[in-house]
Amino acid sequence: MNPIRFDGRVAVITGAGGGLGRAHALLLAARGAAVVVNDLGGSVDGKGGGRGGDASAAERVAQEIVVSGGQAIANHDDIATPAGAQRLADAALAAFGRIDVLVNNAGILRDKTLAKMEPADFEAVVRVHLLGSAWCSRAVLPAMQQQQYGRIVMTTSAAGLYGNFGQSNYGAAKLGLVGLMNSLKLEASRHGILVNTVAPVALTRMTEGLPLAALMKDATPERVAAGVAFLASEQCHFSGVVLAAGAGYFSTVRIVEGQGVHAAADEVSPEFVAAHWDRIADPAGARGFDSAVHALQGAFGPPQP
């Protein structure tokens, strides 16, 4: 296989002042991309200042790229607002004239059980992860549509795919990103724009406090960035895939639906569901669907014997 390169391509990466975003930025830059390093420089909870806050983070990463012979600019716009996301896209176009890759990586954590969580903390996490990714995607789409080429990478999490105690806000946002991908892939495909999602496992400042952090010593951000670089490349020819990546492990994750059971019109009742639950819940023969239309066709197809 030919080496994956990004010569002549421009990548916008949110939350790229450290951790996963920094690894994505450095790898794409090392392979030829001009990179827009977006980061507010806030703390992990997004409140600014405090532990982990560093307003110069984006500049340091951009400078690291430039010193290595690459092209990069720093950007501090707040992607959680439509106006901030648009300013980020405008800055990329003003600096480099095009946008080929968007990696929606920015995120914050405000962990607490739902019963104890302040509504503002739930909304803030959803705003950065989910709405920020939507606004940035929306902002770069016109440029990608005009050039009939683009790669958008969302960032989900095992907490969204499978759940995690104390992370209802984060989990809801992260699974919402899969839904965003699934619709955007259909809207963008006619313009040569592919949309995929990475589900990373990496030891960063956002994960260092997790109970399993001690087991994650080999889960460096760089090992996730390899998967993101592929999804962002010309060699990627598919859309709507969730790629789990961490510590050298790569796998795809898919939402599937079982074969199920069809009830006759005069049989439909709560008792029918209860009586046939074992077959309803049987994963044998489970299949994935490319769209809601295909799922409905599967559900309303001919009755199974």
**d(Cα 250, Cα 126) in Å, to the nearest integer?**
27
C-alpha count within 13 angstroms, C-beta hemisphere, residue 53: 9
d(Cα 83, Cα 207) in Å, to the nearest integer?
30
Q: Residue 109, CB half-sphere, CA atoms under 13 Å: how many?
A: 18
The Cα–Cα gap between 201 and 196 comes to 17
Cα separations in angstroms, 218 against 103, 139, 204, 212, 274: 23, 35, 12, 12, 46
Q: Which helix (H) or strand (E) holds 251?
A: strand 249-253
From the list 149, 162, 170, 249, the catalytic residue is: 170
Q: Are the beta carbons of 81 and 74 closer than 8 angstroms?
A: no
Residue 229 DSSP SS3: helix
**Catalytic site includes residue 162:** no
Burial of 218: CB neighbours in 10 Å, binned 0-12, 13-18, 19+: exposed
- Amino acid (1-letter code) at residue 66: V
Closest CA relative to residue 232, chosen from 1, 2, 13: 13
Phi then psi for residue 107, to 5 deg, are -165, 160
What is the distance between the alpha carbons of residues 205 and 210, in angstroms, rounded to a whole number? Answer: 10
**Residues marked as catalytic:** 170
